[in-house]
Amino acid sequence: MFSKGDKTKDVATPRICDVVWHDGEFIAWNDARVHVMSHVLHYGSSIFEGIRCYATKQGPAIFRLKEHLQRFLNSAKIYRMDHTWTLDQLCEASVDLVGRSGLEQCYIRPILFRSLDEARPAFGVNPFPNPLACYIGAWDWGKYLGDEAIEKGVDVCVSTWNRLTPNSMPAMAKSGANYMNSQLIKMEALLNGFAEGIALDDRGYVSEGSGENIFTVSNDMVLTPPLSSSILAGITRDSVIQICHELGITVKERSIQRAALYVADEAFFSGTAAEITPIRSVDRITVGKGGRGPITEKIQKAFFEITKGERTAPGDWLTYVKTSKVSPADGNGSRPGATTNVGVSNRTAEPVMKFQAVGRGIE
């Protein structure tokens, strides 16, 4: 991370894909611009996703692409953002973007937001008169909480800011507005010398980090807060749960008291950006022996073997950019076991690219 005197960014951004997918077309990164009076800038009316693409021996592979984009569509539905994009179209656009980027590994950011109709501008809270805009960008993003954090862990605090109550803002939607709460948690932690903050829910139980789900380990049992604790239903969180099942590790969703963080044998964050990051202390109280514990290491090892394409995943978790097939989606998301040829739209006279999700059917 960085010192209190250098708070400008988490990690360096070494490479950015020079094109952005925008409403069905690829445009230059520098042309991806939003009017200053757009609804999203004034009222936070956006939903988005974060998806990692990993470097493998078979080329770039996007991790759980369909699950992320299905959550993207779910978030849009919750916020009544009626659009025409399908799951398959968004998957194709993401794969095409990675192919055009030349990046072996990257972070993919789809975003849908309420823009501005310049011919008939509307400036009120009412979002319906404003048109929607959909973009997908990509960049090479390193370890979110620092390269050393994966092995040594991070020091965190319990935030004075609580997560939103379930009937105030929908925690299950990944919306830009929710992340103002996350920013308060993150800034407070950084200014007090911690790498990250942990928020409690409205009842005082552990919820999640500013941008990560959380797990604890006690007596060889892995615990994680339930959806009722105002958490985002993390894709990486779900991956950890499935990996635990594969490894024969007992994992349960359970309300976690703040004090349980201090006496846990191990604790770790999960998330697209954070991946699997150990927690070595909470509120300056050492967790376990301080650092990465044996169960965290076992889960982490399996996770990174899967993302490198070296281990069979519990489901169709990797979409290889350079291969030729994709499992089509049904009305509710991915359909395990089915494959068909689906070409990516060719809007710039480049070769049509096709892709495939590999692994076993999602359980």
Q: Which residues are catalytic?
A: 174
User: In sequence order, what are the residues at sequence separation of 6 or more whose Cβ sits closer than 8 angstroms to the Cβ of residue 160?
Assistant: 188
Q: Can you count the helices (H) and strands (E) in the chain?
A: 8, 21
CA atoms within 13 A on the CB side of 158: 17
Question: What CA–CA distance (Å, rounded) separates 105 from 66?
Answer: 18
User: In sequence order, what are the residues at sequence separation of 6 or more whose Cβ sits closer than 8 angstroms to the Cβ of residue 51?
Assistant: 62, 63, 64, 65, 68, 69, 94, 107, 108, 109, 110, 272
Please answer whether residues 318 and 362 qualify as being in contact, where contact means their C-beta atoms are separated by less than 8 angstroms. no
Q: How many residues are recorded in the chain?
A: 363
Q: What is the DSSP string of 49-74?
A: --EEEEEETTEEEEETHHHHHHHHHH
Q: CA of 64: how far to CAs of 110, 307, 315, 349, in Å?
A: 14, 10, 9, 28
